[in-house]
Structure 1
Amino acid sequence: MEPSLVSCVLGRHKPSTWNYMSPTKEVELVPLSKCCSEFDSVIQSIDTTFRNKISSMVRVQNPFLWGSYLLKREECLNRGADVTEKKLFHATGELNVLSICQNNLDWRRSTRTKFGQGVSFSPSEDYANMYCNQLAGSMRALIIATVLVGRETQGNCGTIIPPRPYDTTIGRYGQVVVKYNDNEFYPLYVAYYSR
């Protein structure tokens, strides 16, 4: 019997920071203590002024999504694509977190599509928060994601998918990064804050 993607990930490809997970468990949100080195490492990637808003943080452990991301990364590299992994931010309402951690971010749910009709990320947590859907309320979540970025082109509201050979659109002088393909991003951490 062939091993499943989940068992392969848990057996050989899971990040060293992950806690033990049962192969039957779909997703686990692991709370990070503010005094642990992993929390400190992640918080250092967040701008100082934004850090003070963060009340708690969890690590996302989803073996299926992680395995799918690794396969996508390997596919890009095997095709000779010039791809880099970037840590980017996506702000959303706290109520969306479980769905995102189970199923990943979904371009079909995008409401702000000024630079393309995909999933928007930003290298700036303030910018991500500023353009978070206002219906998200005041209890928010900052998704810290690893994102595969290859060839970029300027996006606009009419961009349904970037023209060949591009896989990413950008806007606002690089403050917005839009992805269109599933599994080209993975939610590593979720930092909870209030607006």
Structure 2
Amino acid sequence: LRESKTYHLPSTWETSNEQKIRFRLSRKTDEYRSIVSNFNEAMKENYTQIIKIERIQNERWYMQYLAHKKEFKKRLQNNTERILYHGCPVQAAHSIIEDCFNRSFIGVHGTAYGYGVYFSSEASYSHMYTRPNINGERCMFIARVLIGKTTRGNSSMKTRPLGFDSTTDEDHIFVIYHDAQAYAEYLITYK
């Protein structure tokens, strides 16, 4: 692992002289094959092809996420990080990569479990929130999400209830209310 101040960056991260934060994965790597395998299972084969998988290397955003993760572990005495999916239109994906998940856009697709950012353990569910571009391509993030202590959400929740970190449908949907509570690790572009 490389080190940045007191936090470690993932060993898979590439170095770059540019201000580049999107790195296309080679189809030949174990990292790529593992993501495809998990995506196939979670999508239930509801797509025809993966165009590309990009690793997101936004160090500022990642450091904020790690600070939250450290606090969650200390407070909860337990790791509550989950790998979840977030589907969105292509334009929204560009904003998420630059500025992280933004609660300013809440309510665009509903607020059934609270006014936060929605993630799912089922890629096939997150697929419903993607929109194809003119080439028929869709985008979905694989994100690390700190669910912490969670409770059932409802449409009147503007924020998480006191004593909880997220809300849920008690099945596969998780809603977070702090932007640094999730890190978009990969962006999958697919048809």
* TM-score tier after normalising by the smaller chain length: 0.7 to 0.9
Q: CA deviation at 1:134?
A: 5.7
Cα 1:154–1:135, aligned 2, differ >3 Å: closer, same or farther? farther
Q: Secondary structure at the match of 1:146?
A: strand
Partner of 2:189: 192
Q: CA deviation at 1:21?
A: 3.3
Give the TM-score normalised by the residue count of structure 2. Answer: 0.86
Partner of 1:116: 114
Partner of 2:10: 15
Q: Secondary structure at the match of 2:14?
A: coil
Q: Could you give the per-residue CA deviations for residues 73-131 of structure 1, whole angstroms, max 9, x where no partner exists?
A: 1122233454411000000111222211111111111212111100000000001112x
Partner of 1:149: 147
Work out whether residues 130 and 138 of structure 2, in 8 Å CA contact, stay in contact via their aligned partners in 1: no
Percent identity, aligned pairs only? 27
Cα 1:17–1:68, aligned 2, differ >3 Å: closer, same or farther? same
1:37 is aligned to 2:33 = no
Give the TM-score normalised by the residue count of structure 1. Answer: 0.84
Q: How many residue pairs end up in the alignment?
A: 184
Work out whether residues 84 and 143 of structure 2, in 8 Å CA contact, stay in contact via their aligned partners in 1: yes
Work out whether residues 10 and 63 of structure 1, in 8 Å CA contact, stay in contact via their aligned partners in 2: no
Gaps of 5+ in 2: none
In structure 2, C-alpha distance between the alignment counterparts of 1:20 and 1:11, rounded to whole Å: 19
Work out whether residues 94 and 140 of structure 1, in 8 Å CA contact, stay in contact via their aligned partners in 2: yes
Partner of 2:163: 165
Q: Could you give the per-residue CA deviations for residues 51-81 of structure 1, whole angstroms, max 9, x where no partner exists?
A: 6432211000000001010111112223345
Q: Secondary structure at the match of 1:89?
A: strand
Q: Could you give the per-residue CA deviations for residues 30-66 of structure 1, whole angstroms, max 9, x where no partner exists?
A: 0012222110121122134146432211000000001
Give the root-mean-square deviation of aligned CA atoms: 2.4
Q: What amino acid is the match of 1:139? A: E
Cα 1:164–1:83, aligned 2, differ >3 Å: closer, same or farther? farther
Work out whether residues 50 and 125 of structure 1, in 8 Å CA contact, stay in contact via their aligned partners in 2: no
**What is the aligned counterpart of 1:183 among 169, 176, 180?**
180
Q: Secondary structure at the match of 1:169?
A: strand
